[in-house]
Amino acid sequence: MGSERRILRCTIYSRKSSEHGLEQDFNSLHAQRESAEAYIKSQAHEGWKLVRTRYDDGGLSGGTMERPARPGGSRSCP
């Protein structure tokens, strides 16, 4: 019986609570994505695979549960 590794598809959701700095070539959303991509890559031996679709919410306060870019919208992640 061969050992099968389960593939875990990973998405990255990044959010910045203000629009300040979003116009820069490299901003907080980029930094969050780079960090998350590096972590997912470090877990490749566990079967983690990055889903390339981007989910970024720039300029949205943490005081609201509205997350237009997040998979599933405002619903809780399963």
Domain boundaries, given as residue ranges, for the chain: 8-58
Model pTM above 0.75: no
Long-range contacts of 38-42 (CB under 8 A, 24+ apart): 40/10, 40/12
Q: What is the DSSP letter of 29?
A: H
Report, as an integer, the average pLDDT of 48-63: 80
pLDDT exceeds 70 at position 68? no
Residue 71: partners with Cβ closer than 8 Å, 6 or more residues away: 11, 13, 55, 77
Locate 22 and state its tokens.
Answer: 């979003």
Closest CA to 5 of 49, 41, 52: 49
pLDDT (0 to 100) of residue 74: 43
| CB 53, CB 44: distance < 8 Å | no
